[in-house]
């Protein structure tokens, strides 16, 4: 069963809302030839642009690399990192407001045999990290700055799955440095206890009988 492509309105709203609502949606890469590689989004992070020291677009920093973040909501933003990996983001909010959501983990759905050929192992370890999911879905420079509302190769679908608020874990973002307040901002979201979540583990929710 093939879902409905997400429309502009999905992306064109509050970035944190988009990050939460992307959980359970399906990222699709249609290869030349027609084969579909896809996975269910199980983990995301919000990057809040001008006011977010962890965002590439902090203080509206606009360079050739960050240019897609200033484009229409629904654009892909894929960048190369650490000499080895790509990371996949979706541009959010209003055009000109450089915010985005990083997709951090997928549960592979279509194209499993192909993914396993290049990285043998457990299904839930094929795309449980931002670099790994780009490798699994063959996303790279070629797929940067695509308008996923209209593109014929890369887009996101709604397959009808509803993720209730009560099934969403949240916590601080990963890998963004060490000194300032923003490292505590709870802008990382995941489907609670899903086997394809990345590391590190989400913190336990705070409760009355919880000891830290």
Partner DNA sequence: ATTTAGATCCTCT
Partner DNA sequence: GAGGATCTAAATG
Q: Which residue ranges make up the site for DNA (CB under 7 A)?
A: 45, 47, 54-57, 61, 63-66, 69, 77, 79-85, 87, 89, 100, 102, 119, 129-133, 173-177, 198
Burial of 9 from C-beta contacts in 10 A (0-12 / 13-18 / 19+)? exposed
> Which C-beta is closer to DNA: that of 3 or that of 131?
131
Whole-number Cα distances in Å, 165 to 24, 57, 181, 188: 12, 29, 26, 14
> Which C-beta is closer to DNA: that of 28 or that of 176?
176
Q: How far is the CB of 9 from DNA (least distance, A)?
A: 22
Q: How far is the CB of 2 from DNA (least distance, A)?
A: 27
> Which C-beta is closer to DNA: that of 30 or that of 61?
61
Contact (CB, 8 A) for 28 and 19 = no
Contact (CB, 8 A) for 98 and 60 = yes
Q: How far is the CB of 161 from DNA (least distance, A)?
A: 23
Q: How far is the CB of 91 from DNA (least distance, A)?
A: 10
Q: How far is the CB of 33 from DNA (least distance, A)?
A: 26
> Which C-beta is closer to DNA: that of 99 or that of 110?
99
Element (H, E) at 77: strand 76-81
> Which C-beta is closer to DNA: that of 162 or that of 212?
212
Whole-number Cα distances in Å, 67 to 12, 62, 70, 208: 17, 6, 6, 45
């Amino acid at each position: 069963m093939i879902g409905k492509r997400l429309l502009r309105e999905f992306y064109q709203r509050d970035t944190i809302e988009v990050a939460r609502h992307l959980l359970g949606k399906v990222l699709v890469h249609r290869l030349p030839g027609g084969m579909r590689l896809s996975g269910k989004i199980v983990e995301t992070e919000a990057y809040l642009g001008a006011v977010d020291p962890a965002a590439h677009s902090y203080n509206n920093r606009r360079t050739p690399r960050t240019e897609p973040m200033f484009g229409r909501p629904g654009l892909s933003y894929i960048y190369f990192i650490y000499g080895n990996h790509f990371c996949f983001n979706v541009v959010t909010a209003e055009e000109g407001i450089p915010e985005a959501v990083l997709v951090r983990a997928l549960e592979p759905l279509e194209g499993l045999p192909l993914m396993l050929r290049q990285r043998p192992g457990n299904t839930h370890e094929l795309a449980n990290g931002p670099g790994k999911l780009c490798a699994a879905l063959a996303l790279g420079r070629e797929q940067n700055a695509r308008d996923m509302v209209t593109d014929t190769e890369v887009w996101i679908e709604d397959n009808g799955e509803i993720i209730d608020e009560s099934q969403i874990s949240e916590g601080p973002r990963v890998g963004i440095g060490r000194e300032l307040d923003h490292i505590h901002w709870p802008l990382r979201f995941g489907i609670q206890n899903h086997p394809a979540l990345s590391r590190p583990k989400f913190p336990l929710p705070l409760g009355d009988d919880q000891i830290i």
